[in-house]
């Protein structure tokens, strides 16, 4: 059984009877058993997956209508609710939280007969970009297990790269899908804000984050987007995409497209290998008929500071509900006065979450808001103006997904500020609500490099067409696992 | 000069669902913690889903209070930890970043005094805390989240009141107005709550929180003014502070909590996009606004010649004015207004009695017409009304069942009149010399017929018999 197939190949092979969902799923579970001790992509695995696959095989055999996923095993970042399953956000705070409902993306994929093979590891409450801040231990990069896989959707990226599933759903608040996709060599997508319902996604910074797929190919991403995008009455921030078909014309090419190279994202500090991969990608795009030209987004230099100020503010509010009174972990409330109880209960948060919540209590507070939070909002709106201006001239923008290569586990964990700077190329898409994709493009010293493309809001389809064109120009070596 | 400002919380009790989820806005009929869902419990991953009907109803309140209504409204988070608040923040509105609250400045006339409205905001109600245990040592706090997320409109006034009486009058007007709009039932327990700011000449502002009813609000304001004046007269400084209303002891108590020092870290609620109230919607709401109480009153007086005091009572209560509107015609209007204000109001003077009452507009219409055609006396009509409220039976049924119909058969009436004349010799003589006193004899006839004699006919026949 070959697990190294794309989502579209899987669908084709199940449909024509070459493989069965049951065989594929049980082989995938064996794979998880054999490699996940080393990689730690999963926080929990679905024990019922084989039975669910059997049911789908039955449906196929009896000629019943079968959903578009045909039992495809998909991993889900552990910050999305699946009814009756533990959803921890990789936090001790939610150790015993069993979701009583399905996230919208989950119910949509259930209808399409996807199988949720397991809940993927992540940085606690999605705060981090290495997955080292998981309260349950870090995930490892399958390309070299001494290295971080990126984050915060690290478990998702690892599970896709290590063939522990076909595809995964992560969430991207400041690069949390694109960063690990780049570091692990898969495609990572952050859609236009509002394209995918966030209902059931546990909020970190709700005004800028989106759920996004991590897949082996650009076409697989388009395939999944067709299933999970669109208006959702349960999420007032969703936008109507009129059932756009992202896969249909994906091979349209990029001839005549104008692409802006974001100057501030290839600045000093960019790793030479990343730099040369970017230049190579640009010349490939030009050879396909696009024209590329440098563009400056001045506000990018303040974007990381603005990003951390805004996300800390929202996190401070979004995570306030974890007082352990209604759900959480085992810690009886009897005998405590309210304030002393929650103070004690909330000690279960890990160090990075605690850090950001303290920051989130400070930057929007009376007397400080003008210096920090309101200023950050100004940067956000100026950056949006700048990028909107750029999209008047360009169809797409390009930059490396991450300016550096993956680093070793433990290397930067004690230096939060240098970690923050790794986000410099990804936060712009979140702050401005624009769609962005990371396409695996090169390998340097055995570690993958991703190239990022951005498009204007609701131009997701064109973005995927460009990413597909770029993807066709390279063939990466296999994961040495 | 005494200055009083109010913050009034009014639940939109007539809505189907809570402000951000499909749970019922009418939480009162549920067992504890049965009217909840992932959204109003603030479960991880849940998102608010704005009840558009609440936006419309709150806009109507703003219009009725003559407030400006911005085209775009926004929601903010008010961050603080409290066990009745499932998310540990409340979704509310404010105007610090421009006028984004559902209602801006407005005003209401209380007698000759204009009370200015500062703003109106739409927000969610928290859950309900229940304290148990006799001493502080064994006290436990229980939380019922059924109420959490109920749509609440906060009405903030300027410190324009000069005393408890004016507060009381304003609350009456407001309560009638909300009921007339059909947005809320102010008589429901907890549907109306208020905070008050009170300061006397030369003193600092004191905020009184936690006043659970309008009735207590007047008392609390009264108590607080007396307290402050007493301090002032003894030259003790009045501290700027927050006090709580103790509704058992009916006094205000200083709250030692650090509540005043709280920093709510307000910021935009990103999960609810800005709401644009298009001018068409605005105009439509305006056209759908029920007639205001004052305009109703004016119409009753000018069109039907109903006395001003009667019109006042009739128009300010939705229950009665609805009955009136659906039953009256040009010719019966005055009669019906009288039946309602003199007889019906006494029969259904409590919420329970109103709800149990079986009266319909048709009953009133029949009753008025029957009176006007002299088929029933006003006295009997009162008895019939009592039966109607109790049983809901048809008026004609009741009249025949209880034999309430007028004695209008002339020969029968003359028999009774002659009886009276023979019995009341003195009175007859007196009536002959002073025709004014003939009414005494009419009364006697009424007594004999148990009030069923047609009074006009009786009078005519009597006069004829006596010869005056």
Query: With contacts defined as CB-CB under 8 Å, which chain B residues touch A206?
Result: 47, 270-271
Whether B130 has its CB under 8 Å from any CB of chain A: the answer is no
Nearest CA in chain A to B22: A234
Find the CB nearest B86 among A200, A326, A361. A326
Contact check, Cβ <8 Å, B270/A237: yes
**What is the per-residue pLDDT for B260?**
53
C-beta atoms of A365 and B44 within 8 A: no
**Three-state DSSP class for residue B459:** helix
Provide the token pair at B142: 């229980």
B267 contacts A373? CB cut-off 8 A: yes
Domain residue limits, chain B? 3-283, 291-402, 410-466
Decide if B267 and A325 are in contact by the 8 Å CB cutoff. Answer: no
Residue B421 is predicted with a pLDDT of 86
pLDDT at A142: 98
Q: Is B316 helix (H, G, I), strand (E, B) or coil?
A: helix
C-beta neighbour count of B126 within 10 angstroms: 20
Write down the mean pLDDT value for chain B.
91
Q: According to DSSP H, which parts of B305-404 are helical?
A: 308-316, 318-327, 333-338, 345-347, 351-356, 361-372, 378-391, 395-402
Q: Which residues of A are catalytic?
A: 77, 152, 176
Put simply, the answer to whether B44 touches A81 (Cβ < 8 Å) is yes
| Yes or no, beta carbons of B43 and A101 under 8 Å apart | yes
Write down the pLDDT at residue B352. 86
Position A433 pLDDT exceeds 90: yes
Q: How far apart are CA B339 and CA B313, in angstroms?
A: 13
Chain B closest-CA separation from residue A109 CA (Å): 17
| Chain A residues in contact with B44 (beta carbon < 8 A) | 81, 87, 89, 94, 97, 99, 202, 321, 327
Q: According to the per-residue pLDDT averaged within each range, which of A121-125, B134-138, B217-221 is highest?
A: A121-125
Size of interface A-B (CB pairs under 8 A): 100
B410-466 folds as Arc Repressor Mutant, subunit A (1.10.10)
Lowest mean pLDDT among A390-394, B10-14, B109-113, B424-428: B424-428
Contacts of A321 in chain B (CB under 8 A): 42, 44, 86-88
* B46 in contact with chain A, both atoms CB, cutoff 8 A: yes
Domain-wise residue ranges, chain A = 1-481
Contact A366 B267 (CB under 8 A): no
Instruction: Inform me whether the C-beta atom of residue A339 falls under 8 Å from chain B C-beta atoms.
Output: yes
How large a percentage of chain A has pLDDT more than 90?
95
Give yes or no for A340 touching B (CB within 8 A).
no
If pLDDT is split at 50, 70 and 90, which confidence band does A375 have?
A: very high
Q: Is B265 on the interface with A (CB under 8 A)?
A: yes
% pLDDT > 90, chain B: 66
Contact B47 A313 (CB under 8 A): no
Give the pair of three-digit tokens for residue A236.
């007032």
* DSSP string across A310-359: HHHHHHHHHGGG-SSSSSSSS---TT--HHHHHHHHGGGS-HHHHHHHHH
Residues with Cβ < 8 Å from B296, sequence gap 6 or more? B311, B315, B321
Q: Rounded to an integer, what distance in angstroms lies between the CA atom of residue B191 and that of residue B175?
A: 10
Q: What integer pLDDT is reported at residue B456 of this predicted model?
A: 79
Euclidean distance between CA atoms A50 and A29, whole angstroms:
9
Residue A54 Cα distances to A48, A73, A389, B111, angstroms = 10, 13, 53, 77
Q: How many Å is the Cα radius of gyration of chain A?
A: 21
C-alpha span between B438 and B447 (Å, rounded) = 15
The reply to whether residue B49 touches residue A316, judged by beta carbons under 8 angstroms, is: no
CB contact under 8 A, B45 and A323: no
Q: Which residues of A touch B79 (CB under 8 A)?
A: 316-317, 320
The tens digit of pLDDT for each residue in A24-76 reads 999 999 999 999 999 999 999 999 999 999 999 999 999 999 999 999 999 99
> Is A178 part of the contact surface with chain B (CB cutoff 8 Å)?
no
B265 closest CB neighbour out of A87, A321, A364: A364
Residue of B nearest to A325 (CA): B83
Nearest alpha carbon to residue A396 among A456, A441, A437: A456
B43 to chain A, any CB pair closer than 8 A? The answer is yes
A14-26 pLDDT tens trace: 999 999 999 999 9
Phi, psi torsion values for A33, nearest 5 degrees: -60, -40
In 3D, which of A5, A359, A328, A378 has the Cα closest to residue A166? A5
CA distance B130 to B29: 17
What is the arithmetic mean of pLDDT over A70-93? 98
Long-range residue pairs from B431-435, CB within 8 A, at least 24 positions apart, any chain: B431/B466, B431/B468, B432/B466, B432/B467, B432/B468, B435/B463, B435/B468
Say if residues B158 and B115 touch (Cβ distance below 8 Å). Answer: yes
- pLDDT category at B32 given cuts 50, 70, 90 is very high
C-alpha gyration radius of chain B: 29
Q: Which residues of A410-438 are buried (b: 16+ CB within 10 A; e: fewer)?
A: ebbbeeeeebbebbbbbbbbbbbbbbbbb
pLDDT of residue B256: 65
CA angle, B28 as apex, B26 and B29 as ends, to 5°? 95
Q: So what's the pLDDT on residue B257?
A: 56
pLDDT over 70 (residue B408): no
The residue written with tokens 């008025």 in the block is: B368
For the cut 60, the answer to whether the pLDDT of residue A403 exceeds it is yes
Does A370 touch chain B if contact means CB atoms closer than 8 Å? Answer: no
Is the pLDDT assigned to residue B259 strictly greater than 80? no
User: A79: pLDDT confidence band, cut at 50, 70 and 90?
Assistant: very high
Give me the residue from A81, A317, A323 closest to B77, CB to CB.
A317
Q: Is B87 on the interface with A (CB under 8 A)?
A: yes
- Determine the distance in angstroms separating the CA of A323 from the nearest CA of chain B, rounded to an integer: 8
Q: Do A321 and B263 touch (CB under 8 A)?
A: no
Widest CA span in chain B: 93
Nearest CA distance, A457 vs chain B (angstrom): 16
B424 forms bridges with which residues in the sheet? none
- Which segments of B56-157 are extended strands (E)? 72-73, 76-79, 89-92, 106-110, 113-124, 128-132, 140-144, 151-157
Question: Which of B55, B77, B78, B265 is the best mutation test for A, with the most CBs of A within 10 A?
Answer: B265
Q: Are the beta carbons of B263 and A366 separated by less than 8 Å?
A: yes
Closest CA to B162 of B4, B382, B372: B4
Output the pLDDT for position A153.
98
Contacts of residue A326 in chain B, CB cutoff 8 Å?
A: 41-43, 86
Determine whether the interchain pair A314/B141 forms a contact, defined as Cβ–Cβ distance below 8 Å.
no
Partners of residue B42 in chain A, C-beta under 8 Å: 321, 326
A291 strand-pairing partners: A258
Fold of A1-481: Amidase signature (AS) enzymes (3.90.1300)
Task: Please give the residue that has the higher pLDDT: either B11 or B212.
Answer: B11
Three-state DSSP at A408 gives strand
The confidence score (pLDDT) of residue A77 equals: 98
Using a CB-CB cut-off of 8 Å, the residues of chain B touching A430 are: none
């Amino acid at each position: 059984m070959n697990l190294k197939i794309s989502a579209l190949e899987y669908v084709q092979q199940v449909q024509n009877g070459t493989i069965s969902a049951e065989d594929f799923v049980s082989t995938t579970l064996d794979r998880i058993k054999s490699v996940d001790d080393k990689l730690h992509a999963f926080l929990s695995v679905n024990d019922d997956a084989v039975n669910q696959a059997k049911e789908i095989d039955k449906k196929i055999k009896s000629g019943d209508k079968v959903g578009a996923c045909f039992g495809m095993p998909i991993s889900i970042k552990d910050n999305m609710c699946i009814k009756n399953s533990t959803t921890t956000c990789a936090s001790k705070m939610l150790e015993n939280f069993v979701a009583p409902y399905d996230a919208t993306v989950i119910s949509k994929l259930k209808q399409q007969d996807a199988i949720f093979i397991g809940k993927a590891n992540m940085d606690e409450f999605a705060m981090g970009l290495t997955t080292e801040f998981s309260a349950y231990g870090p995930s490892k990069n399958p390309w070299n297990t001494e290295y971080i896989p990126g984050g915060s959707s690290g478990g998702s990226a690892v599970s896709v790269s290590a063939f522990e599933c076909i595809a995964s759903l992560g969430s991207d608040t400041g690069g949390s899908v694109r960063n690990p996709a780049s570091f692990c060599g898969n495609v990572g997508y952050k859609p236009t804000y509002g394209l995918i319902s966030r209902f059931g996604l546990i909020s970190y910074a709700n005004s800028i984050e989106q759920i996004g797929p991590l897949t082996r190919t650009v076409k697989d991403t388009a395939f999944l987007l067709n299933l999970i995008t669109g208006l959702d009455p349960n999420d007032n921030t969703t936008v109507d995409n009129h059932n756009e078909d992202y896969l249909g014309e994906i091979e349209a090419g990029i001839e005549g497209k104008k692409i802006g190279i974001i100057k501030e994202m290839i600045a000093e500090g960019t790793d030479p290998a990343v730099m040369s991969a970017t230049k190579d990608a640009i010349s490939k795009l030009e050879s396909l008929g696009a024209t590329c030209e440098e563009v400056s987004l001045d506000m990018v230099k303040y974007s990381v500071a603005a990003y951390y100020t805004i996300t800390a503010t929202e996190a401070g509010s979004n995570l306030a509900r974890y007082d352990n009174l209604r759900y959480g972990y085992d810690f009886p409330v009897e005998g405590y006065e309210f304030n002393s109880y929650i103070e004690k209960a909330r000690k279960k948060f890990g160090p990075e979450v605690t850090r950001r919540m303290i920051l989130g209590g400070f930057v929007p507070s009376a007397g400080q808001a003008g210096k920090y939070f309101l200023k950050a909002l100004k940067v956000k709106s100026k950056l949006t103006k700048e990028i909107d201006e750029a999209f008047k001239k360009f169809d797409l923008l390009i930059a490396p997904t991450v300016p550096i290569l993956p680093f070793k586990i433990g290397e930067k964990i004690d230096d939060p500020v240098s970690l923050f700077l790794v986000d410099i190329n990804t936060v712009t898409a979140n702050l401005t609500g624009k769609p962005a994709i990371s396409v695996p493009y090169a390998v340097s010293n055995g570690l993958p490099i991703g190239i990022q493309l951005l498009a204007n809001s609701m131009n997701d389809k064109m973005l995927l067409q460009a990413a597909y064109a770029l993807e066709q120009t390279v063939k990466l070596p296999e994961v040495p696992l | 000069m005494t200055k009083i400002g109010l913050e009034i919380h009014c639940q939109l009790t007539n809505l189907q669902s809570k402000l951000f989820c499909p749970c019922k806005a009418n939480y009162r009929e549920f067992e504890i913690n049965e009217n909840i869902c992932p959204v109003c419990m603030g479960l991880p991953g849940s998102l608010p889903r704005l009840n558009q009907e609440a936006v419309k109803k709150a806009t109507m309140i703003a219009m009725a209070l003559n407030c400006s209504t911005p085209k775009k409204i926004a929601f903010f988070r008010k961050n603080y930890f409290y066990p009745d608040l499932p998310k540990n923040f409340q979704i509310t509105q404010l105007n610090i970043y421009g006028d984004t609250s559902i209602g801006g400045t407005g005003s209401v006339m209380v007698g000759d005094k204009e009370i200015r409205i500062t703003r109106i905001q739409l927000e969610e109600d928290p859950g309900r805390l229940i304290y148990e245990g006799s001493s502080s040592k064994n006290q436990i706090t229980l939380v019922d989240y059924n109420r959490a997320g109920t749509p609440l409109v906060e009405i903030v006034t300027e410190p324009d009141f000069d005393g408890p009486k004016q507060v009381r009058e304003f609350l009456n007007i407001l309560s009638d107005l909300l009921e007339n709009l059909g947005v809320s039932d102010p008589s429901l327990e907890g549907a109306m709550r208020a905070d008050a700011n009170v300061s006397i000449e030369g003193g600092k502002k004191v905020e009184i929180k936690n006043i659970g009813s309008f009735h207590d609000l007047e008392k609390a304001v009264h108590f607080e003014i007396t307290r402050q004046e007493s301090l002032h007269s003894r030259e003790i400084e009045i501290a700027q502070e927050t006090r709580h209303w103790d509704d058992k002891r009916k006094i205000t108590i200083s709250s030692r909590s650090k509540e005043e020092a709280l920093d709510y870290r307000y910021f935009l609620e990103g999960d609810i996009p800005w709401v644009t109230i298009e001018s068409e919607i605005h105009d439509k709401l305006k056209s759908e606004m029920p007639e205001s109480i004052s305009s109703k009153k004016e119409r009753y007086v000018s069109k039907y010649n109903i006395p001003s005091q009667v019109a006042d009572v009739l128009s300010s209560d939705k229950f009665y004015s609805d009955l009136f509107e659906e039953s009256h015609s040009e010719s019966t209007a005055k009669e019906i207004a009288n039946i309602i204000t003199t007889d019906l109001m006494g029969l259904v003077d409590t919420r329970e009695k109103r709800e149990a009452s079986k009266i319909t507009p048709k009953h009133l219409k029949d009753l008025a017409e029957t009176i006007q055609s002299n088929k029933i006396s006003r006295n009997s009509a009162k008895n019939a009304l009592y039966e109607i409220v109790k049983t809901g039976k048809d008026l004609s049924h009741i009249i025949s069942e209880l034999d309430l119909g007028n004695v209008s058969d002339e020969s029968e009436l003359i028999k009774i009149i002659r009886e009276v004349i023979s019995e009341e010799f003195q009175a007859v003589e007196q009536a002959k010399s002073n025709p004014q006193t003939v009414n005494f004899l009419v009364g006697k006839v009424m007594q004999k017929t148990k009030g069923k004699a047609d009074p006009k006919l009786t009078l005519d026949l009597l006069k004829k018999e006596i010869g005056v």
